[in-house]
Amino acid sequence: MKFTRLHQWTTDIKEAARIQDNLSHFIEVKPSKKEYSLIAGADTAYSKKDNSVFAAVVVMRFPELVTVDRARAQTMANFPYQPSYFAFREGPVLIKAMQRLTVSPDVIMFDAHGIAHEKGIGMASHLGLMLDVASIGCAKKSLIGDYDEPANEMNATSPLNLKGRQVGTIIRTRVDVKPLFVSIGHKIDLETALELVIAATRGYRLPEPMRVAHILSNKMRRNYDGRLRGPGPYRMRQFE
């Protein structure tokens, strides 16, 4: 799939903040299509040896949830880990992987927040805009906003509010797991986003596309760090 280089990836926080201010106005919170037959999930993994970042994208036919395409990419992380600026750290490698897809998904789920962001443009929204595709923010932790813990029941939800406005929904996809923070990414509404998350979940905490992408990106990292470890004395178990 293609994308529009709306701006240059920067390393400067202030410039990144400026870019977010400019792009936030273009985020659409309404669906641009009615059917989603191809849903994708994306995730990244970090090397523990250097600044390598691995991205994996998995596209599945919906609602069957059969994988129809996958893509991977690797880059060096330039931007530092900085809450609220994830797009500048993981965006490059994720976009690179997306460009390698042979099919164009109708919606992409990111392991990040969408409009549940101080400037209303978390990575899910930011990348959805650059890729001009519907996107959903599906984070595992809170970034901003007030909320109550959902009941410990499958699909129990609770609103995520920010400045008196609901910017997302927290949902426990299965009993005894930490809930997910779902928010609009781009070109979609919260209700639809939540429906897709629920319909794409199959007994695990994460929706299938994201779960598989997570496993894939993690394999990439392990393979990289593993072979980078190279020859040498095997690390023996420490007894003291």
Partner DNA sequence: GCGACAG
Partner DNA sequence: ATCTTGTCGC
Query: Interface residues with DNA (CB under 7 A)?
Result: 43-46, 48, 81, 83-87, 90, 111-113, 117, 122-124, 137, 139-144, 218, 221, 225
Nearer to DNA, 100 or 119 (CB): 119
Nearer to DNA, 64 or 239 (CB): 239
Nearest alpha-carbon partner for 4 in 128, 102, 188: 128
Cβ 44 to DNA shortest distance, Å: 5
Cβ 189 to DNA shortest distance, Å: 19
**Helix residue ranges per DSSP H, 72-181:** 86-99, 123-131
Nearer to DNA, 62 or 85 (CB): 85
CB 182 within 8 A of CB 124: no
Nearest alpha-carbon partner for 180 in 218, 213, 210: 210
Nearer to DNA, 137 or 150 (CB): 137
Cβ 63 to DNA shortest distance, Å: 25
Cβ 35 to DNA shortest distance, Å: 27
Residues 125, 117: Cα–Cα separation, whole Å: 10
Cβ 239 to DNA shortest distance, Å: 11
Residues 126, 128: Cα–Cα separation, whole Å: 6
Nearer to DNA, 65 or 144 (CB): 144
CB 118 within 8 A of CB 84: yes
Residues 127, 113: Cα–Cα separation, whole Å: 11
Question: How many other CB atoms are there within 10 angstroms of residue 238's CB atom?
Answer: 5
Q: Identify the three-state secondary structure at position 198.
A: helix
